[in-house]
Amino acid sequence: MAPFDISHHQAKPLVDQIIDQFVARIGDKSLRAGSRLPSIRRFAADYSVSKFTVVEAYDRLVALGYVHSRRGAGFFVAPRVESHANAPVRREPPLRRCVDSLWLLRHDALTTDSQLLKPGCGWLPASWMPEAELEKALRDLSRRPNARLTSYGEPFGYRPLRQQLCVRLAELEIGAEPEQIVLTMGAMQALDLIARYLVDDGDVVLVDEPGFFNVFANQKLNGARLFGVPRTPNGPDVAVLEQLLAEHKPKLFITNSVLHNPTGASLNRATAFRILQLAEKYDLTIVEDDIYSDFQTGPGERLAALDQLQRVIYIGSFSKTLSANLRVGFIVADTRRAQDLCDLKLLTSLSTSEVSERVIHAMLTEGSYRKHMDRVKSRLKQVSDTVLPRLEALGITFWAQPGGGMFCYARLPHHDDTAQLAQQALADGLMMAPGVLFCPQSGSTPWLRFNMAHMDDERIWDWLAKYRDPQLPKIAPSEPTGLIKQR
């Protein structure tokens, strides 16, 4: 088979380049039905792309009907049925647009494997969470005569919680009324509702690069075309942002302002003002995802505070700070948008859990939440004071000095593709978070996200010391090694 022309410098994503060239070869019959495609490992090595990229390309070729897979044998060109001239074009199922991020969620991020060490995960340790306080709030709620345990909640969500959120938003200098707040099942439902409301199939959406991988998956699922705005230690690169605005006229820009995931850096005031100027000039709506707000100890600007919800839709959540299981998040927007989003919420999920919302309200109003977050911030300060110097001592460099929170974005010396490193880590019993997961388009990257709250096991440090060398030890496929072996 003639070599493929795969370029890391083209605007077209690597996955699309691979798909287009396979489709062309199948179409002109240079690849005939029954022909075996190169193995994922071989294709990735031959063209210097990550295995994640090849997996996504092959899966999408299967979804489009050009290829089928045989368990244990590989991927093969599928028999083609000749189409009629007027036959409709076969469209890719939307779920395939986000298969790479779903793979992570299924296989790594949400695994219940208690023996897997998770220095790359995105949540606090279970031992840090206020389980006793949550249990007490649930017991107290169950004893109340008006607990409403069996009925639907209000369309906008539990009003006393929305009123309490107005008080908390005022502390951030964001003015809002309860009618401007829609409670959701976490931040992901909030993002999904906003995408359904504002984004049509084929619209351009801008995202942070690096940014949160599940945001990319969700927007692709809703038909968006994604373009990344490079992050700097002070926030999005406003020069690149303006270029993208002028060229693509995007519908949305989704960004973290405070304690950005994965870098841990925060927006400064000058960058914030420039972003809002560009939003006004190019008629852009900004979605400010501020789910790490309550981890903040240092400076950080919020676009919603400067804009007062004119062009900014603000999102918050208690999943990272209190409970991922209760699933309570919220959208704050101008009154018209909030009503529209509430209507959309009714159409797609009827209501959210008032039981969960009442528990959160009790934690907020009784003071236990504030005490819990004070403890969390103190512990994060202690672990960062320990973890960051130890990483530096291993020759690991940081994308930016974290300003608080649980994440730092860093690179081991000499490693240019951390996807390969993450695969090795998984074989050794560690869940790492390679930088490719935080990029809207696939490609090799030298960065890793570390969760400092999960770095208290010496086996993690032994592994990092071992693999800072660029020559990765080879592992026999049939024999588990490293941390799994030690157990």
pLDDT of residue 146: 76
Evaluate whether the domain defined by 14-92 bears CATH number 1.10.10.10. Answer: yes
Query: CA 410 to CA 393: how far, in whole Å?
Result: 13
Q: What is the pLDDT at residue 482? A: 34
Residue of 390, 452, 446, 388 lying closest to 413 (CA atoms): 446
Instruction: Give the pLDDT confidence score for residue 86 in this predicted structure.
Output: 46
228 by DSSP, 3-state: which?
Answer: strand
CB atoms within 10 A of CB 72: 5
CATH architecture of 131-368: 3-Layer(aba) Sandwich (3.40)
Neighbours of 390 (CB within 10 A): 12
- pLDDT for 405 equals 95
Both tokens of residue 190?
């909030």
Contact assessment for residue 384 and residue 436, using Cβ atoms and an 8 Å cutoff: no
- Identity of the residue numbered 257: S
For 360-408, write each residue's pLDDT tens digit: 999 999 999 999 999 999 999 999 999 999 999 999 999 999 889 999 9
- Hey, what are 440's tokens? 């809207």
Query: Which pLDDT score, from 0 to 100, does residue 261 have?
Result: 96
CATH class belonging to 101-128+374-486: alpha beta
Confidence at residue 172, expressed as pLDDT on a 0 to 100 scale: 96
Domain segments of the chain as ranges: 14-92, 101-128+374-486, 131-368
Nearest to 236 by CA among 288, 167, 159: 288
Token digits of residue 330? 């919220």
pLDDT of residue 206: 97
Chain centroid offset of residue 249 CA: 24
Query: What residues of the chain score a pLDDT lower than 70?
Result: 1, 80-114, 147, 442, 469-487
Which residue, 168, 119, 129, is CA-closest to 425? Answer: 119
Domains 101-128+374-486 and 131-368 share a fold: no
